[in-house]
Structure 1
Amino acid sequence: MTSKKKYIPLIIGVAIAAGVYVGGKLNFTDNSDRLFTSNSKKDKLNRLIDYIDFEYVDNVNTDSIVDVTVNGILDKLDPHSVYIPKNEMQRVSENMKGDFVGIGVSFYTYKDTIAVIRSLPGGPSEKAGIKSGDRIIMADEDSIFGRQWSNEDIIKKLKGEKNSKIKLKVYRKGEKDLLDFTVRRASIPINSVDAAYMITKDLAYIKINRFAESTYKEFKRALDGLQDEGATKLVLDLRDNPGGFLGIAEQIVDEFLEDGKLILFTKNKSGRIENSYATRKGDFEEGEVFVLINENSASASEIIAGALQDNDKGTIIGRRSYGKGLVQREMALGDGSAVRLTVSRYYTPTGRSIQRPYDNGHNQEYYNDYYKRRSSGELNDEINIKVADSLKFTTPKGKIVYGGGGIIPDVFVPLDSSIQNETLNYIRQSGLISYFVFEELDKDRGSYNGVTQQDFISNFAVSDDIVIRFQDYLNERHRANVTFVAYNKEMKQLIKAALADQLYGSNASEEILNATDDMIEEVMRLIENK
């Protein structure tokens, strides 16, 4: 089950957490010199927590103080060393593992009721007979509708142990009585490959949204299927991909690079260097690859782009990437919480670090870099990208590349004008199109019965009337004041993509949106001009 929308120093940290427990064993009438036999920094922090716990005038939740203290320490390090509280660990772990145990539906909390968008193909809800548009009213005799039920509460209720059963009562339009279903919970994948399809008879497309434990297997399965369909060229879309596991990125790069090619190397504080090389297992070494990146492509996405660029393999297309060249390791703090602590820097094969400069740890200027790039004009014209000659590197074939702040693409593509339009951008990010489309489908879902995904993509046309209804929906229900006269074509495409997403899934939606994508059009031009 997923909630739908359209569309983060170990010794000191452990000492603080342990101090709360140890404090319960101390007697504060004892001499402090005997209680704290050393004058180390960690003992100072332990002492402070214990004093607050036992001597402070008011009762204080020292667990929350520990959280604040750990965050305060990490804030002074670098922007990517972060604390994960105990109450967030399950969600974070599931996201990076790539699956969870649930009933297998995507849903909205629509008018205070769980409205099923789609039962995931092959999942337990689909097998039980739950359909798009169904409203889940009760779960194990508990009513789960009304304002008191948050998405988090609903998800918690519907999750459970693998193979455990949950009894659901469902309202279905056209049925007189509530329907009863018994659903056996199962492992539900959290897909990191959003789309995989053929653009032309030999050009394939794969989009990856993050690098989780399951990502390489998803990618390899998609790549194998596309090669079976005749793919000899590949568009690998890493736009807006924030990264994830370094090892998964290495496995994906290995599919493209010949045996023995350097993928990257890491260096820790003691100067220890670890090299990562490609192996003989790559299945797309002879293929041509185009990697799409933008200002939100970070970390593992940059590892792939940098490794291919520095080995003169393929073409990197788009805009300068985020600029994260630090490697984190997740370390448990003993109470269910953890830190992701930066333990090394990584370098591309030519020896460049692509980490953006940072001062004073988690500073706001670092996170606001996107707005700085936009105001400088960098996102619209590559001439505005600032590079330092001191960070110039050369690939084996003589191509000049730069370090110091992201991967600069081989072929620059400016920010799409529609993305810069505030109205369209707000509509994309708000999820309002998805809510509107759900209501449209709810009027007559049967009209789409028998319409295949490819028929929909190729032949379905959004009418002017639907665009007007969406305009009225925004103006009447959300007190907007918009008109789409100048953006009629764009709105039709966004509405069609939202319909496809709810009817068929993200693969269909991405294919529709990519039909007019500037970067993919650039790939087509490059191929034609060869």
Structure 2
Amino acid sequence: MKIDSKYIPIYISAILAIGIFIGGLLDFSTENQLSPTNSSKAKLNQLIDFIDNEYVDDIDTDSIVDRTVDNILAQLDPHSVYVPPTQQAEVAENMKGDFVGIGVRFYVYKDTVAIVQPIENGPSAKAGIKAGDRILFADGTKLFGRKLPTDSLFAKLKGKEGTEVVLTVYRKSEKRKIEFKIKRDVIPLKSVDVALMLNPSTAYIKINRFAETTYEEFKTNLLRLKAQGAKTLVINLRDNGGGYMEEAIAIADELLGNRKLIVFTKNKKGRVEKTYATERGEFEKGRLFVLINENSASASEILAGAVQDNDRGTIVGRRSFGKGLVQREMDFKDGSAVRLTVARYYTPTGRSIQKPYEKGSEQYFEESETRFKNGELYAKDSIKVAANLKFKTPKGKIVYGGGGIVPDVFVPIEYENADEATVYLMESGIVGNFVFEQLDKNRNAFKGLSFEQFLDKMNATDVYFDIFEDFMVKHVKGIQLRKSKWVVKRYLNAEFARQLYGEKAYYDIVLKDDVMIKKVLSKK
């Protein structure tokens, strides 16, 4: 389905990376003679020099080099990739876990920077910026009506910690311009979306990626939830594409007993490195559930595999992505980088969960789509396991290698009579944009309502469903929402709640009818 580009939100990209920084991979030498010890590399360097110095037309040799690197890596595996300088800066920031800025969620609405939400306790919130405000000028630079690219907008709002920016804002609700002087500060990019109690004894922690701060965020929230009485822990790794392997290992250490094997890696030379749990675990005894789906990959699979193979907890959901390769990030001097696969990892029973990639990257990534067609997202019996890659856990449970983590408890993709494409759509950024636009028309309609009053108001009407249905018919081809009406209404209500009451309110609504959560809570 094709989404109108003007409704794509401007958020910081969640590109995933594993960061171990090493010196450059290619050295573009100016020597004319080929080195007898490394003639292939020298030939590539010399060819670039020939083109640069002798070719009849002016050629951007940098772009040639970029394409050459891409082509070389395409001959390897789907996860060995080249990252251009502009993308690499985003990756580094996202995985660092914070950035310096003014602290707002925004998107460009009708050529104007519209505030979706100021981040709680951030510089903008403290200064008085409100949801619905439009940023007209930043330090006198006009931001509206110019169709500025994302990086230009970020450049105006970000900066060094402690520096000030003067914003001229139009507040629609008061029909006036207001000037704010905001001091930029460190803004956390949370990798733990939410951590709350599902009931008096069951805690829930959702991890969206494994960044530099993930273990610290997890540990802080785990201790808080234990203090609230948590005896059972649910870790949600659905749609978590991975990140830093070390962060996943550190979290596994909190869950496993001393000297339990977490993971081991093997490189091309056959060198094996094993990682074991230590004595420090904060949750080694309570009941444990890990939620996964077809988009849980890499570091998520390391954590899920460690729990499953040590008989520590129950894996709930659908078969994970199947990425068992370890990348190392290697920097070039121009700010770009290459992520090169340097090892395979294995779960404690000795299985590799890497799915095949011999038929090329395109088919490799499309394999996830074939799971819809072969029915495995609806029935566990349709999961194709590698019968010759059978392993046994210490308690005798059979587990399989060769293509992801197969859950202990299978939960089909969304619910009776719900279209899977609709579910994915309702979890996308386009829903947030729609809700913002509806609130922007009449934010006062929700003013002063308690959360309970808000829920009563939303459940009593289909007006927003009807408007959203019309909205989507115009911008997404072939979408049919009517048969999944109750799912659509749930996510619409949740997004309204997020923008009005905060992140926890969103999950209070979504988790109430989450089938995997219901499955966990039914386990006695």
TM-score in terms of structure 2 length: 0.91
Aligned residue type for 1:384 = S
Shift of 1:80: 0.9
> What is the rounded CA distance, in whole Å, between the counterparts of 2:416 and 2:207 in structure 1?
23
> What is the rounded CA distance, in whole Å, between the counterparts of 1:118 and 1:407 in structure 2?
37
Match of 2:210 in 1: 211
Matched, 1:492 2:489: yes
Aligned residue type for 1:281 = R
Matched, 1:511 2:508: yes
Shift of 1:48: 1.1
Aligned residue type for 2:501 = Y
SS at match of 1:162: coil
Aligned residue type for 2:169 = V
Shift of 1:373: 1.8
Contact (CA 8 Å) 1:330, 1:340: kept in 2 or not?
Answer: yes
> What is the rounded CA distance, in whole Å, between the counterparts of 1:288 and 1:62 in structure 2?
58
Match of 2:5 in 1: none
- Superposed, which structure 2 residues align to 1:334-483 within 5 Å? 334-359=333-358, 362-417=360-415, 421=419, 424-425=422-423, 427-428=425-426, 431-451=429-449, 456=454, 461=459, 463-474=461-472, 478=475
Superimposed CA distance per residue, residues 435-473 of structure 1 (whole angstroms, 9 cap, x where no aligned partner): 332132223434544545577568863522332333344
Match of 2:106 in 1: 107
Match of 1:526 in 2: 523
Aligned residue type for 1:274 = E
Match of 1:224 in 2: 223
Match of 2:4 in 1: none
Aligned residue type for 1:349 = P
Contact (CA 8 Å) 1:15, 1:46: kept in 2 or not?
Answer: no
CA 474–349 in structure 1, closer or farther in 2 if over 3 Å, else same: closer
Shift of 1:359: 1.2
Match of 2:188 in 1: 189
Shift of 1:525: 1.8
Shift of 1:14: 4.2
> What is the rounded CA distance, in whole Å, between the counterparts of 2:199 and 2:321 in structure 1?
30
Match of 1:256 in 2: 255
Deviates more, 1:423-432 or 1:303-312: 423-432
Aligned residue type for 2:303 = I
> What is the rounded CA distance, in whole Å, between the counterparts of 1:401 and 1:73 in structure 2?
36
Contact (CA 8 Å) 1:192, 1:212: kept in 2 or not?
Answer: yes
Contact (CA 8 Å) 1:15, 1:42: kept in 2 or not?
Answer: no
Shift of 1:253: 0.6
**Which runs of 5 or more residues in structure 1 are unaligned?**
27-31
Match of 1:29 in 2: none
Count residues with an aligned counterpart.
510
Superimposed CA distance per residue, residues 69-126 of structure 1 (whole angstroms, 9 cap, x where no aligned partner): 1111111111111111112111000111111111100012111111111110110101
Aligned residue type for 1:526 = K
CA 507–104 in structure 1, closer or farther in 2 if over 3 Å, else same: same
CA 484–514 in structure 1, closer or farther in 2 if over 3 Å, else same: same
Match of 1:161 in 2: 160
Superimposed CA distance per residue, residues 396-443 of structure 1 (whole angstroms, 9 cap, x where no aligned partner): 111111111111111111112579626624742664432332132223
> What is the rounded CA distance, in whole Å, between the counterparts of 2:283 and 2:508 in structure 1?
23
Match of 2:177 in 1: 178
Contact (CA 8 Å) 2:431, 2:492: kept in 1 or not?
Answer: yes
SS at match of 1:199: strand
Superimposed CA distance per residue, residues 220-252 of structure 1 (whole angstroms, 9 cap, x where no aligned partner): 121112111111101111001000001000111
- Superposed, which structure 2 residues align to 1:300-311 within 5 Å? 300-311=299-310
**Which runs of 5 or more residues in structure 2 are unaligned?**
1-8
- Superposed, which structure 2 residues align to 1:216-295 within 5 Å? 216-295=215-294
Aligned residue type for 1:396 = P
CA 95–376 in structure 1, closer or farther in 2 if over 3 Å, else same: same
CA 316–457 in structure 1, closer or farther in 2 if over 3 Å, else same: farther
Aligned residue type for 2:10 = S
Contact (CA 8 Å) 1:109, 1:151: kept in 2 or not?
Answer: no
Contact (CA 8 Å) 2:13, 2:94: kept in 1 or not?
Answer: no
State the superposition RMSD in angstroms. 2.6
> What is the rounded CA distance, in whole Å, between the counterparts of 2:74 and 2:479 in structure 1?
42
Shift of 1:147: 4.3
Superimposed CA distance per residue, residues 257-297 of structure 1 (whole angstroms, 9 cap, x where no aligned partner): 11111111111111111111111111111111110001110
Contact (CA 8 Å) 1:202, 1:232: kept in 2 or not?
Answer: yes
Match of 2:136 in 1: 137
Shift of 1:491: 2.5
Contact (CA 8 Å) 1:6, 1:430: kept in 2 or not?
Answer: no
Shift of 1:507: 2.9
Shift of 1:4: 4.4
Contact (CA 8 Å) 1:256, 1:282: kept in 2 or not?
Answer: yes
CA 112–391 in structure 1, closer or farther in 2 if over 3 Å, else same: same
